[in-house]
């Protein structure tokens, strides 16, 4: 294999191992080695047939591109094979439990996919006359009603396109409210040490300074530290509840009281809403703003990293500052208020073009309607039951970070039980891959050493939980018995061995270029 | 309930293993005052059939774009997407996987992202692209903020040809970040006016081509003026198919290109989810927002892909991150990449030529009935009609969705007589004839 100057091979993958021997073609049984599109296809190949254009582009003169684009095309059968082969290199919820803590990898119902593809939703233009989209506006209005009822909050901004975008929306509402009250000097935001990275990043993004709140030994916000840090320059606190340790903030009502007493707002990160949906309303806890990840609690697919959706529910104090557009019940039916008019002059602006993630709204609404208020309550109960079951079973070999009392929807372990084994959290996680499971969230939250955060979700059966726990217990015993090689080199059986991330970052190679590799590999025949 | 596998027996057994008497014991940390014992006032569970009925009724209340002559564009475009694209994005392994943080079992997603980045760089004529943003408008805002990091200046000049939603989004988000946004007034041929506004405090100039009125502009001179002043040129494109025909932003001197990628592989979806494209010169890569996928090798020396340069990102840098963004638009990026693989170089060029041809047919048909305001266009034109919003409403009665009144995007610009119309490969000669006949009737011409 020839290597590039930075040590990268300039040919597609070779080297799957058969009893110490590589396969002759680089394939691994039915798992095919798959080159890049640009190595497979050609500039003159296409998988689409068009009529010829009747008019040329002579009217555009030298505005027309003079150089080739540099794209590569494939016929339809080749396209199907290329992407189906690639798909087989991915883990997915549909294959096995996907225990990523704080990510809520639950089953994605296919009914939702079918509904989102109805032409009455999918083939609607965002700017066609509102009289022709009354059903879409009605769906958004019903979704808003469910979100408000489930959270006990009076208003919701639907447009944010993801959780972090929702956080930004919430903080901009808070900033606008402070400025409207003449409190623009409030520029400090308090965030617990266990917070997700988006919380401090978002606060800094809107120009706030970030200060950490200490955590108690039992994994909650330290009330005395909070009280000491609150002051006349604090704009908001950002607290996740249930928190990133998988624990309910017992003192949440007191947290809200202290915050409001200091003249600040309570932003709640709703990433973990799945644990309490149908049982607890954040509005009853004193929350002023909270984003809801529709791709977590309400089952819209994660899609390999998006698209998400992050509507933000708002208290009465913050509602007037919500961004455009929003829905009103007008004389001609439902209407979108798209531009800031006089009666709504307090809106802080706009989060994105158009009206948000409609495709996700349809999916989330289909999911809510399927479960109903009774099913959603059962969702929270089963999510919490599954997590506590995993915690109880795994505690036989692993060290729970907070052994006393129940957890909520996710179970957190430290790496104390790996002491003196020579195996790290990362090694253990990679060995899970060889057993057929996706690793748990690792090294997060930062407050627990070598953290392993396991969120099974409510859509796992007891049989799958037992299979998962059985695999982890067996691995834990192997680690303690000194079988270090099993971990250090893991994964051995995945489509790839461990990847060199340092190399990737040192001299980034982010695109394929024609001189990188020669042609599509023709194994055997090339020799 | 069909999505919940636990049986009552399972639950009892599991509570026993945990060592608690009932489920309430697991919720004991919730303050008593906040524990809801009764069900919320919302409907109870529903079977698939019932849900399909309710959503089917809501969908039927809408008039899909494909139901008749249809001419809306202005940032979202109706194109034909091959059937195989939707099949691939519904593969479980793509649909139900997470962000590829464990690269050994996510090479499918990662290789797609690497292909996507390569395609976006090629389309825009720039060297590097990220793994996608939420949509074009948020990509525009992020590019503006990126220019502040690069130049350490605070002023951004937005051309009056920029889509008003993009301008408003950028104003909101970049202003939140502490930048000073100069938004020029909407005008058909607004691009030249940005040059006079560039000064030594300018971090970037944002110009859209084809602009919101459909005007195609060679921005080479704007690039030169920006670079002389030490500012960056950001070129915005809302119709990605235009890359198949027009000079690329990179070729004209753009430092950053952002685009809405919806046109390739993605449905209209009433505004989302869409997919933001962001590409830049290689020297700017460490200031880019969002996820990046890079090539590397595994322990056996085989080529593979990982998310890289994550020291820019929030989960590592927290309050010092380049952006608070945590996600991309993964599945939409997959749809984009699969559709573009099917098109290839010749297919995209044909598609773009066909779009332009249809728009020329539309323009020729409207000439003489209304004043066509767009001198050089790709697949979208602006025309002058008295009270455009009213005309659109009137033509609805003829079964035609005649386009987007500019006043809907920007009611304060005093351009109530401007109507934006797009034609794509889905527009037929019959559609155009129906529009012309109806317009003649309504305008009495």
Residue A246 lies in a domain: yes
Are A461 and A327 in a shared domain?
no
Are A340 and A410 in a shared domain?
no
Are A390 and A345 in a shared domain?
no
Residue A28 lies in a domain: no
Residues of chain B in contact with residue A252, where contact means CB-CB under 8 angstroms, are: 31, 34
Contact A69 B123 (CB under 8 A): yes
Q: How many domains does chain A have?
A: 2
Residues of chain A in contact with residue B177, where contact means CB-CB under 8 angstroms, are: 205-207
Contact B172 A280 (CB under 8 A): no
| Closest Cβ opposite residue B301 in set A9, A83, A369 | A9
Which of A1, A504, A498, A37 is closest to B295 using CA atoms? Answer: A504
Task: Return the pLDDT at B323.
Answer: 77
pLDDT of A57 higher than 60 = yes
Distance of residue A478 Cα from the nearest chain B Cα, in angstroms: 22
pLDDT of A13 higher than 70 = no
When scoring A39, A115, A128 by the number of chain B Cβ atoms within 10 A, the one with the most, hence best to mutate, is: A128
Please report, rounded to a whole number, the percentage of residues in chain A having pLDDT higher than 90: 87
When scoring B326, B397, B400, B428 by the number of chain A Cβ atoms within 10 A, the one with the most, hence best to mutate, is: B326
Distance of residue B441 Cα from the nearest chain A Cα, in angstroms: 20
Task: Return the pLDDT at A21.
Answer: 73
Quickly state the pLDDT bin for A341 (edges 50, 70, 90).
Answer: low
Residues of chain B in contact with residue A127, where contact means CB-CB under 8 angstroms, are: 72, 74-76, 404, 408-409
Distance of residue A458 Cα from the nearest chain B Cα, in angstroms: 7
Quickly state the pLDDT bin for A26 (edges 50, 70, 90).
Answer: confident
Is the preceding peptide bond at A307 cis, omega within 30 degrees of 0? yes
Domain ranges of chain B: 67-81+344-443, 83-339
Contact A105 B98 (CB under 8 A): yes
Is B126 touching A (CB cutoff 8 A)? Answer: no
Chains A & B: contacts with CB separation below 8 Å: 728
Best CATH choice for the domain B83-339 from the list 3.10.400.10, 3.40.640.10, 2.40.50.100, 3.40.50.300: 3.40.640.10
Q: What is the DSSP string of B280-315?
A: E-GGGGGG--S--EEEEEBTTS-EEEEE--GGGSHH
| Closest Cβ opposite residue A133 in set B62, B128, B301 | B62
Are A289 and A428 in a shared domain?
no
Interatomic CA distance for residues B272 and A298, integer angstroms = 17
pLDDT of A16 higher than 70 = no
Residue A281 lies in a domain: yes
Task: Return the pLDDT at A344.
Answer: 62
Residue of B nearest to A281 (CA): B34
Residues 360-399 of chain B with CB under 8 A from chain A are 360-361, 376, 392-393, 396
Three-state DSSP at A330 gives strand
Is B40 touching A (CB cutoff 8 A)? Answer: yes
pLDDT of A208 higher than 90 = yes
Question: pTM of the full predicted structure?
Answer: 0.96
For domain B67-81+344-443, give the CATH number.
Answer: 3.90.1150.10
Alpha helical stretches, state H, B367-387: none
Interatomic CA distance for residues B236 and B165, integer angstroms = 13
Q: Cα A367–A371–A377 angle (5° rounding)? A: 120
pLDDT of A3 higher than 70 = no
Q: Which domain holds residue A480?
A: 373-497
Residues in chain B where the model's pLDDT stays below 70: none
Which stretch of DSSP H or E encloses residue A382?
A: helix A358-394
| Closest Cβ opposite residue B327 in set A279, A305, A324 | A305
Task: Return the pLDDT at A6.
Answer: 42
Place of tokens 């691009």: B191
Please report, rounded to a whole number, the percentage of residues in chain A having pLDDT higher than 70: 93
Residue A336 lies in a domain: yes
Task: Return the pLDDT at A382.
Answer: 98
Task: Return the pLDDT at B16.
Answer: 98
Are A137 and A176 in a shared domain?
yes
Task: Return the pLDDT at A517.
Answer: 57
Task: Return the pLDDT at A28.
Answer: 77
Residue A52 lies in a domain: no
Residue where a domain terminates, one of A323, A342, A367:
A367
Buried-state track A155-179, b at ≥16 Cβ within 10 A, e below 16: bbbbbbbbbbbbbbbbbbbbbbbbe
Interatomic CA distance for residues A369 and B48, integer angstroms = 9
CB neighbour list of residue B90: distance below 8 Å, 6 or more residues apart: A113
Contact B134 A162 (CB under 8 A): yes
> In whole numbers, what is the pLDDT of chain A averaged over residues?
92
Residue where a domain terminates, one of A310, A337, A367:
A367
Are A201 and A320 in a shared domain?
yes
pLDDT of A275 higher than 60 = yes
Task: Return the pLDDT at B109.
Answer: 98
pLDDT of A1 higher than 50 = no
Mean of pLDDT values over A484-504 = 95
Mean of pLDDT values over A160-164 = 95
- Cα dihedral A127→B434→B425→A49 (10° resolution): 140
Contact B92 A51 (CB under 8 A): no
Residues of chain A in contact with residue B50, where contact means CB-CB under 8 angstroms, are: 369
Contact B169 A355 (CB under 8 A): no
> What ipTM was predicted for this assembly?
0.97
Residues 49-88 of chain B with CB under 8 A from chain A are 50-52, 54-66, 70, 72, 74-76, 78, 82, 84, 86-88
Q: How many CB atoms lie within 10 A of CB B426?
A: 15
Residue A122 lies in a domain: yes
When scoring A124, A353, A507 by the number of chain B Cβ atoms within 10 A, the one with the most, hence best to mutate, is: A353
């Amino acid at each position: 294999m020839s290597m590039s100057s930075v040590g990268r091979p300039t040919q597609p993958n070779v080297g799957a191992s058969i009893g110490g021997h590589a396969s002759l073609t680089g394939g691994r049984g039915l798992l095919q080695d798959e080159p890049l599109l640009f190595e497979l296809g050609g500039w003159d190949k296409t998988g689409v047939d068009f009529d010829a254009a009747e008019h040329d582009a002579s009217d555009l003169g030298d505005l027309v591109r003079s150089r080739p684009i540099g794209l590569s095309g494939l016929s339809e059968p080749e396209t199907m094979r290329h992407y189906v082969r690639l798909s087989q290199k991915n883990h997915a919820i549909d294959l096995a439990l996907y225990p990523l803590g704080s990510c809520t990898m639950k089953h994605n119902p296919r009914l939702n996919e079918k509904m989102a593809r109805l032409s009455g939703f999918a083939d609607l233009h965002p700017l066609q006359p509102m009289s022709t989209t009354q059903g879409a506006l009605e769906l958004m209005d019903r979704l808003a009603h469910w979100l408000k009822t489930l959270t006990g909050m009076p208003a919701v901004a639907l447009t944010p396109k993801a959780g972090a975008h929702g956080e930004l929306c919430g903080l901009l509402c808070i900033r606008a409210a402070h400025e409207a009250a003449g409190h623009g000097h409030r520029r400090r935001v308090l965030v617990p040490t266990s917070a997700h990275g988006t919380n401090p990043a978002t606060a800094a993004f809107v120009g706030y300074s970030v200060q950490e709140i200490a955590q108690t030994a039992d994994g909650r916000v330290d009330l005395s530290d909070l009280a000491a840090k609150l002051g006349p320059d604090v704009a908001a606190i950002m607290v996740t509840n249930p928190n990133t340790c998988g624990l309910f903030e017992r003192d949440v009502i007191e947290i809200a009281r202290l915050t409001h007493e200091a003249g600040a707002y309570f932003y709640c990160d709703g990433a973990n809403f799945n644990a309490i949906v149908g049982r607890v309303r954040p509005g009853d806890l004193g929350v002023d703003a909270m984003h809801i990840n529709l791709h977590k609690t309400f089952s819209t697919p994660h899609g390999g990293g998006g698209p998400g959706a992050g509507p933000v529910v708002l208290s009465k104090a913050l509602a007037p500052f919500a961004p455009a557009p929003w829905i009103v019940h007008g004389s001609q039916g439902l209407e979108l208020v798209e531009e800031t008019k006089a009666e709504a002059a307090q809106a802080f602006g706009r989060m994105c073009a158009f009206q948000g993630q409609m495709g996700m709204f349809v999916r989330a609404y289909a999911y809510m309607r399927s479960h109903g208020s009774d099913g959603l309550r059962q969702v929270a109960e089963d999510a919490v039951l599954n997590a506590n079951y995993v915690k109880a079973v795994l505690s036989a070999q692993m060290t729970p970070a907070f052994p006393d009392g129940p957890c909520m929807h996710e179970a957190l372990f430290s790496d104390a039980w790996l002491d003196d084994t020579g195996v790290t959290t990362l090694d253990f996680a990679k060995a899970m891959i060889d057993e057929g499971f996706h690793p748990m969230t690792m090294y997060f939250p930062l407050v627990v050493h070598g953290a392993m955060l396991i969120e099974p979700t409510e859509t796992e059966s007891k049989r799958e939980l037992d299979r998962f726990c059985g695999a982890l217990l067996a691995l834990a015993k192997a680690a303690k018995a000194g079988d270090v090689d099993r971990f250090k080199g893991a994964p051995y059986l995945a489509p790839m061995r461990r990847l060199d991330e340092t190399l990737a970052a040192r001299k980034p190679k982010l695109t394929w270029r024609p001189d990188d590799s020669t042609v599509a590999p023709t194994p055997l025949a090339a020799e | 309930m069909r999505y919940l596998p636990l049986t009552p027996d399972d639950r009892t057994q599991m509570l026993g293993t945990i060592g608690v008497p009932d489920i309430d014991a697991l919720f004991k940390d919730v303050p008593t005052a906040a524990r809801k014992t009764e069900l919320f006032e919302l409907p109870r569970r529903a079977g698939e059939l019932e849900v399909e009925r309710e959503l089917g009724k809501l969908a039927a209340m809408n008039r899909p774009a494909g139901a008749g002559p249809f001419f809306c564009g202005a940032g979202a475009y109706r194109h034909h997407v091959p059937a195989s694209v939707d099949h691939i994005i519904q593969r479980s392994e793509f649909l139900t996987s997470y962000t590829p943080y464990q690269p050994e079992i996510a090479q499918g997603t990662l290789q797609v992202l690497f292909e996507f980045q390569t395609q976006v760089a090629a389309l825009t004529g720039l060297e590097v692209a990220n793994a996608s943003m939420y949509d074009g408008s948020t990509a525009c805002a992020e590019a503006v903020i990126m220019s502040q990091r690069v130049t350490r200046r605070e002023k951004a000049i937005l051309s009056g040809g920029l889509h008003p939603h993009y301008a408003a989004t950028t104003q909101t988000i970049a202003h939140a970040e502490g930048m000073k946004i100069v938004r020029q007034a909407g005008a058909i041929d607004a691009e030249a006016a940005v040059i006079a506004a560039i000064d030594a405090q300018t971090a970037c100039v944002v110009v859209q081509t084809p602009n919101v009125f459909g005007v195609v502009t060679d921005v080479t001179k704007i690039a030169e003026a920006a670079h002389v002043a030490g500012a960056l040129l950001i070129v915005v494109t809302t119709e990605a198919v235009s890359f198949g025909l027009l000079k690329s932003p990179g070729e004209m001197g753009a430092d950053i290109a952002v685009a809405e990628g919806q046109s390739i592989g993605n449905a209209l979806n009433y505004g989302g989810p869409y997919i933001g494209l962001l590409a830049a010169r290689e020297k700017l890569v460490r200031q880019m927002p969002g996820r990046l996928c890079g090539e590397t090798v595994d322990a056996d020396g085989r080529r593979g892909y990982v998310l890289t340069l994550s020291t820019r990102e929030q989960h590592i840098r927290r309050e010092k991150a380049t952006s608070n963004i945590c996600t991309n638009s993964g599945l939409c990026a997959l749809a984009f990449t699969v559709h573009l693989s099917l098109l290839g170089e010749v297919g995209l060029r044909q598609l773009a030529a066909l779009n332009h041809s249809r728009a020329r047919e539309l323009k020729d048909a409207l000439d003489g009935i209304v004043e066509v305001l767009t001198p050089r266009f790709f697949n979208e034109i602006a025309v002058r009609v008295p009270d455009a919003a009213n005309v659109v409403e009137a033509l609805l009665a003829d079964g035609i969705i005649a386009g987007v009144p500019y006043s809907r995007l920007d009611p304060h610009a005093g351009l109530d007589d401007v109507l934006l119309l797009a034609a794509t490969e889905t527009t037929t000669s019959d559609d155009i004839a129906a529009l012309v006949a109806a317009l003649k009737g309504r305008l009495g011409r």
